[in-house]
Chain A
Amino acid sequence: MNANTSVNSSDTLTVSSGRPSEPQRPPRKRYVFLMSAPALLGLFMFLVLPFLMALGMSFTDQRLLSPNATEWVGLRNYDRLLNISWLVQEPVSDAAGNLKQTADGELVYPRLRSVLRNDPEYKDFKEYTHWSFDNKRVVLLAKDPSFIQSIINTLLFVILVVPIQCGTALGLALLINQKLRGIFLFRTVFFSPVVTSIVVVSIVWSFLYHKDLGLFNHYLSAMSFGLIGPVDWLGDPDWAMPSIVLMSAWQAAGVQMLIFLAGLQGISGDLYEAAELDGAGPWGKFVNVTLPGLKNTTIFVVISTTIQAFGLFTQVDVMTRGGPQGSTSTVMYHAVTKGFREQDIAYGSAISVIFFLAILAIALLQKRFFDKREDA
């Protein structure tokens, strides 16, 4: 029988064979390595590594193509992005102590630019915005005012688009969850914008939003009997972002609709029958059965829509290029403008890092918020 008996220990088990030794097949480990390596390499090279590079480069002055050596600059990029300050200005008065006024009766303040230039504390700051009250003027300063505006624009987009898009999606899902003949046709129709590229959609909608020829102004004027004049949807700083919100929600709602639909169909019919026996009407059933049943789906939809919304870039790039007056510039748009168009990779990386941290924080916050609501 066996000449060499194996030892009773898991790691020193030896194969002893009555037959002459057989060719050993490659061990499992090699298969694991060979089969998982390509994807892991891809993820590492093109996701983890760039992310770590962003982190590292955000502390340097790296440029895309530059003859100069890259240097560590510490937190300078972050300081430039996030440093906010303010100052209060007194109106200028003449020798007699009377407040100077312009011809329109407005108060005159010292020229901001010279004030900033002369004060070392405010050297790199620029005006973001100002308010006046009580004869004084409060000026909000930032080192990169357009980034601050981009943050605010992005938040505005998210706050508007998430409820509109998710609400639309839920509504559509409820609509096509009805048992009607040919309902699948409508499902296809509602979903069709999703498969259309957002670039194409943005171009077509640019036409619909056109000030003179566009369909929106035509309907607006028709419905108000000409009272409401043409709105320059994409050219008016107040309207440009809401216009992009509307289009974005329209384009992407189909995805969330399908997810909600799957959630709706996952709710057991027994629950509705039980609710009916308990005397619940359609609204009661919606509130007590449908909504609780969609809880996990809603969490997923809201979080994923939010993350997606934060990355707003393409629509802006195609439709408005961040304008008018910076009213549609977003964090991503700013990052690409700085990091790519102006070749300041380090600065763009710092924006990417802030962008990622914001997404992470919001995803975690939303999850906690939804978890809490369940406890309550």
Chain B
Amino acid sequence: MADVKLTKVVKRYGDVETIHGIDLDIKDGEFVVFVGPSGCGKSTLLRMVAGLEEITEGELHIDNECVTSVAASRRGVAMVFQSYALYPHMTVRENMGFGLKMAKTDKDEIKRRVDESAKILQLEPLLDRKPKALSGGQRQRVAIGRTIVRNPKVFLFDEPLSNLDAELRVKMRVEIAKLHSQLKNTMIYVTHDQVEAMTMADKIVVLRGGNIEQVGSPIELYLNPVNEFVAGFIGSPRMNFFECDVISQTSSSLRLRLPCSTEVELDADVSASPGMSKVKLGIRPEHLQEDHQGKVKIGVDVDVVEHLGGATYIYARYAGDNELIVQAGGLSPVRRGHHCDISFDLDQCHLFDCNGLSLRAAQPIPLQTEVSVQELVLG
């Protein structure tokens, strides 16, 4: 079993630096998700762990062993590729056993281990087929099966679900989560899809521009994003932001004027940043209510209403050009063109200074995270 430790890892192509000194500790058996927009370096980072990209500077330890310049095949890692990379000229069995064959493993042993992993993933009936004769989901399973055969210390997944349709993606998500609870190996999973990250991860690593923005459990990132980027990236639909003028500030609170001129007062950790004139207020769509139970009320003009059955997304304009999304109940009576009042609680607001850093004190994280993630994210 294996810890993974990255120390000041840097990637440079010629003069261009794409990864700027990453420090990260991954505990044995953790399911870690690297998430971020395209070009953030998440795939590069994964490939550096795999040994497919050279580590320009810094160190990588797997299972307390420095593997910075050890060949990929000797790091004890296995990877599921976005394209699956199943060899088209080999049967499923040959695909799964290729690594063992390269390691000159005994034929009977190969057969035994392939059969064993095939059983885990219910691939037995497919073993003699070629990849061409498999469906997308089956290929995905073979790609995973191939990694299991090698019995690696660490599993790596590079956007493994992005080639599947939406329905299958949800199904495979669950299968991978199950697999993790069954095998209990360390797994690193790269995706650009924050829903995947939220639902699967023990720990999420949010990356942007080759830097780590925040590391934490899904619920931690959801409740206490350290900056505007993480706040906007985690959660769906996206958090609403609008700029507010600062009227006055003490060391632990701010008095703000909302765009609609309403004045509010919030607790905020502003001792380090005196004399601010503007801050950004963030509020998640699911925390805006179309009834009037919240403390603060604002008036909005409704542009578009999307009825999803279980929930209703209301796209509205607030105080001029501030665009706003409200997640309301499934049977919301609001219609396009309406003017209506929306309310929210100040406790659920996020505040960011002009550099995008969070100004609010961290909220306590509920203990039963596994249950509440789904509830919080999906309403």
Stretch of A1-9, A60-68, A110-118, A156-164 on the interface side? A1-9
Q: Contacts of A265 on B, CB cut-off 8 Å? A: none
Minimum CB distance partner of B66 in chain A:
A16
Verify if A277 is at the interface (C-beta below 8 Å from B). no
A19 close to B (CB within 8 Å): yes
B74 touches A6 (CB 8 A): no
Instruction: Tell me how far the C-beta of B9 lies from the nearest C-beta in chain A, rounded to whole angstroms.
Output: 10
Query: A10 near B57 (CB under 8 angstroms)?
Result: yes
Q: Is the CB of B56 within 8 A of A15?
A: no
Contact of A13 among B8, B61, B69, B71 (CB under 8 A): B69
Q: A6-B59, A8-B58, A10-B56 are in contact. Are A22 and B68 (CB under 8 A)?
A: no
CA–CA, A5 to B8, complex, Å? 13
The answer to whether B74 and A2 touch across the interface, beta carbons within 8 angstroms, is no
Q: Is A17 an interface residue (CB 8 A)?
A: yes
Instruction: Kindly state whether residue A97 has any CB partner on chain B within 8 Å.
Output: no
Given A8-B8, A22-B74, A25-B71, also A17-B66 (CB < 8 A):
yes
Q: Which residues of chain A come closer than 8 Å to B8, judged between CB atoms?
A: 8
Q: A8-B8, A13-B69 are in contact. Are A1 and B57 (CB under 8 A)?
A: no
Cα-based distance from A15 to B61 in the complex (angstroms):
11
Interface range for B: 10 to 19
**Chain B, Cβ-Cβ closest to A16:** B66
A96 to chain B, nearest CB (A): 90
Contacts A15-B66, A18-B65; A9 near B57 (Cβ below 8 A): yes
B residues near A25, Cβ cutoff 8 Å: 71
In the complex, whether B365 has a CB less than 8 A from a CB of chain A is: no
Contact across chains for B64 and A1 when beta carbons are under 8 A apart: yes
**Complex: A17 Cα to B8 Cα, angstroms:** 19
A18-B74 in contact (CB<8A): no
- Taken together as a complex, chains A and B put the C-alpha atoms of A345 and B179 apart, in Å, by 74
Which residues of A are found within 8 Å of B57, using beta-carbon distances?
A: 8-10
Closest residue of chain B to A17 (Cβ to Cβ) is B65
Task: Check B134 for interface membership: any CB of A closer than 8 A.
Answer: no
From A5, A8, A19, give the contact of B65 (CB < 8 A). Answer: A19
Contacts of A13 in B (CB 8 A): 55, 68-69
- A2–B7 CA distance with the chains assembled, in angstroms: 14
- Docked Cα-Cα span, A15 to B51, in Å, equals 13
B66:A2 contact, CB within 8 angstroms: yes
B209-240 toward A: CB 8 Å interface, digit per residue (1/0)? 00000000000000000000000000000000
Most buried by B among A1, A16, A17, A25: A16
The tally of residues in A whose CB lies under 8 Å from a CB in B reads 16
Closest beta carbon of chain A to B146's beta carbon, Å = 22
Q: Is B264 an interface residue (CB 8 A)?
A: no
Known A-B contacts A8-B58, A10-B56, A10-B57; A18 and B64 likewise in contact (beta carbons under 8 Å): yes
Q: Is the CB of B58 within 8 A of A15?
A: no
User: Please, how many angstroms separate the alpha-carbon atoms of A6 and B55 in the complex?
Assistant: 12
Taking a contact as CB atoms under 8 Å apart, the answer to whether B68 and A15 are in contact is yes
**Which residue of chain A has the shortest Cβ distance to B21 in the bound complex?**
A8
Kindly list chain A residues whose C-beta atoms are within 8 Å of the C-beta of B54: 10
Per-residue 0/1 for B67-87: is the Cβ within 8 Å of any A Cβ (1 yes, 0 no)? 011110010000000000000
Contacts of B12 in A (CB 8 A): 10
A residues near B61, Cβ cutoff 8 Å: 2
Q: Are A15 and B59 in contact (CB under 8 A)?
A: no
Residues of B within 8 A of A16 (CB): 66
Binary B-proximity of A269-306 (CB < 8 A = 1, otherwise 0): 00000000000000000000000000000000000000
Instruction: Give a binary string over B100-113; 1 marks a CB under 8 Å from any A CB, 0 the rest.
Output: 00000000000000
- Interface centre among B61, B65, B74, by most chain A C-beta atoms within 10 angstroms, is B65
CB-based nearest B residue for A4:
B66
Nearest-neighbor residue (CB-CB) of B8 within chain A: A8
Least Cβ distance of B357 to chain A in Å? 29
Task: Chain A residues near B59: list those with CB within 8 A.
Answer: 5-6, 8
Residues in B neighbouring A19, C-beta threshold 8 A:
65
Instruction: Give bound CA distance, A18 to B61, whole Å.
Output: 10
For the complex, give the distance between the alpha carbons of A19 and B57 in Å.
23
Flag if B64 contacts A15 (CB, 8 Å): no
In angstroms, Cα B154 to Cα A265, docked, is: 49
B149 to chain A, nearest CB (A): 21
In the assembled complex, the Cα of A255 lies from the Cα of B71 at a distance in Å of: 47
Shortest B66–chain A CB gap in Å is 5
Q: Which residue of A lies closest to B10 (CB)?
A: A8
Determine how close the nearest CB of chain B comes to the CB of A177; give it in whole angstroms.
Answer: 31
Q: Which residues of B contact A9 (CB under 8 A)?
A: 57
Q: How far is the CA of A267 from the CA of B55 in the complex (A)?
A: 45
Q: Taking the nearest CB of chain B, how far is it from the CB of A93, in angstroms?
A: 82
Whether the Cβ atoms of A15 and B74 lie closer than 8 Å is no
Q: How far is the CA of A17 from the CA of B70 in the complex (A)?
A: 9
Residues of B within 8 A of A22 (CB): 74
Q: What CA separation (Å) do A132 and B301 show in the bound complex?
A: 99
Output the least CB separation between A304 and chain B (Å): 33
CB within 8 Å of B: which of A169-191? none
Given contacts A2-B66, A6-B59, A17-B65, 11 further A-B contacts (CB under 8 A): A2-B65, A6-B66, A8-B57, A8-B58, A9-B57, A10-B54, A10-B57, A15-B66, A17-B70, A18-B64, A22-B74
List 9 tightest A-B contacts by C-beta distance, closest first.
Answer: A18-B65, A16-B66, A13-B69, A10-B56, A8-B57, A15-B69, A2-B66, A1-B64, A13-B68
* A/B interface sample: 16 pairs, CB < 8 A: A1-B64, A2-B61, A2-B65, A2-B66, A5-B59, A6-B66, A6-B68, A8-B8, A9-B57, A10-B12, A10-B56, A14-B69, A15-B68, A15-B70, A17-B65, A25-B71
